Structure 1
Amino acid sequence: MSNNTRTKIWVGVGASVLLGTSAASWAEAPADYTQGPDSLMLAYADHGGEGGEGAEGGEAGHHHEGGEGGEGGEAGHHQEGGEGGEGGEAGHHQEGGEGGEGGEGGEGSAAADPFAVFAYLNASAGGEGGEGGEGGEGGEGGEGGEGGEAGHAIDASNPGVYYTNLAMMKGHLAVARELYQAGEQTAAQPHFGHPLQEHYEPLEPAFETRGVAPFEDTLQALADQAREGGEWGEHAGAYQAALAAIDTAMQDVDGELREDVAFQGRVQLALLRQAVHEYEEAVDDGQFVNVPEYQDGRGFMLTAKAQLEQQAELFQASDEAAYEELMAAYDEAMAAWPSAEAPEAPVMSYGELSSSTFKLESLLGRY
């Protein structure tokens, strides 16, 4: 699958992750969402479902909640079930509620966001493990406010969004460790910081609600230690402590849901779509233009494959033949990321990678 026309939006260090609550199809085309070296941002398009009556405005406007679409404001996104307000500059508002009519997108519309596969778990559709629908009733709905500049909200109550963002933390750390061990300590530093800068803060409300012990200091300790240099063995303890803290937070998701093969498949799909988009942003005209994004993509792919391997019995019990095909498909797609250090020239074009990962998406869709 390939992305439609892209809108690149860059935001500063520490910006929160904007995650949509659209009930887009699980098998839809991947989103256009852009991650800069220090922040993650999703750029949405106008597409199906029952969205709210959206904000008006000019180019680069997006109204995300499906439907027939409202006219977007300048980089303005309004995401709320009820009658939508006006999105401010790079403003995002995201809540549940009933949907109305969506809107026509401005220029630069993208496809569905990768986290739409978890819409059935939205709090507005029944809470954790609850059943959902498109533009599910409930939530805070109502008339939407105006999003402030670079303001973002995350539906941290959605266990799929919560779980996958924690998995993304592990992806950043995985590639950071690879780079450090390969002697690329300078290149590794930003990746050690990304779990905090891109994911921790927007997940804090969920940590508080779930009673998960804060682990910001644990992540920061690893980033601080890595900046000191030295042999990797000196930092291995801090690395394992960070992974253990992330795993503990992931375990807070209901066990029945974590043992659901469809849920685990969706987690991999969201990671896969993020990785493919990272590659798209990293490569242009047959050369690398943003190596850190190539590296982030590798980290997300490594984590997605690791999730499959950790859940091997679950997937094999559901469809053993599909599991073996999935493992082979991962190996085929991973050829685009031969190492943490980018090769002199891309091994695959974005189009070739999209074709390769289409098989992965199809296989994950079996579960």
Structure 2
Amino acid sequence: MATFPHNEILSLTAVQPTHELGESYGPDLRLADLLTPELADLELGYGSASGDLRLRTAIADRHGVRPDQVVVTVGGMHAIFLLAYLVADNGGQVVTTAPLFPLARNCYDTVGADVRVIPVSFDDGYRLTVDDVRAQLTPETGLVSLATPQNPSGVAIPAATLRQIADVMSDVCPEAYLMVDETYRTAAYGDDPIADTAVHLGPKVVSVASLSKCHGAAGLRIGWLISTDEDLVDRMVTAKFNTVVTSAPVTEALAVRVFEQEDEILGVRRRWLADALASTEEWVRANGELVEWVRPDAGALCCVRLKPEVPLDRFKAAAVELSVRMADGDWFGDESRVFRLGFGFLSPAELKAALEALTAALDKAVHASD
């Protein structure tokens, strides 16, 4: 019987602890931020299978493509699942990384793909090389699935590396698609530049993203897939129609409002994330005898590793006792002493308190037997 593998990341949708460091996005927008009187006149009928034209136009304008090259989906995971179903079901070969956002890996396993894994590690700063990818490619490869910045690390893949990967794929597996999950692309820090989208690297390069992480609108469940391959777009629209018919016109209309305010929303979040990153960096420095990290390139998340001096089981027990939640590295296929620390979700005061509680958990673990 077909099923989706269980993963403890599901616990993030359960009761929120006192100190939430497990989430991977910034603060939530509120409905009042988006409501206008005109929305009261919205008819609650079916929408368009490809997505509201105003919304597709807003997405297209930000990626330098046409609206008919955008398919709106029910969150980014819907896009990833449909793409996997179309190009990698029943033994189709997928090349991806580990660690990886577990829902993406679950998609590939559930559709019966032959998954070839490229390990990226904390010790190497989660950096991916062209040679890493080339070593896993075969003529049977149908999909290469990468994320930049990555989840859980927040480490980005340089544009030059993505370009080289696309070139290698055109030689080894020219019919394969390179899917680049760009969910955190616009979650830059302060005055850092926003990376260019990868969708222009070639006709077989596909971009997937959503409003969930960078814009604080996860509850709208609005994602998208962008492709310059007309046949793939047509198949995606058909697949979407056969799974959910359309997205919700209400949330699509609210998503248009998000894009109308995007400059302001992202501007505020750039400063928020930069300050939160600085607080996290200072916490790592202050606890450097017990933890280490890989500094992220963008996003509201990073990977922290416990040094051998910290008893892992005692630390986890102390964190639970102090109501501090992090995202275990095991969830992502990472080593057990690594955890994803989400620094963008909490207010500055709440983040300070959460990091202090995390310090207390470290101290309790190390000195429990004293």
TM-score (ref. length: structure 2): 0.24
Report 1 or 2 for greater relative contact order, CA contacts < 8 Å, sequence distance ≥ 6.
2
TM-score (ref. length: structure 1): 0.24
More strand by share: 2
More helix by share: 1
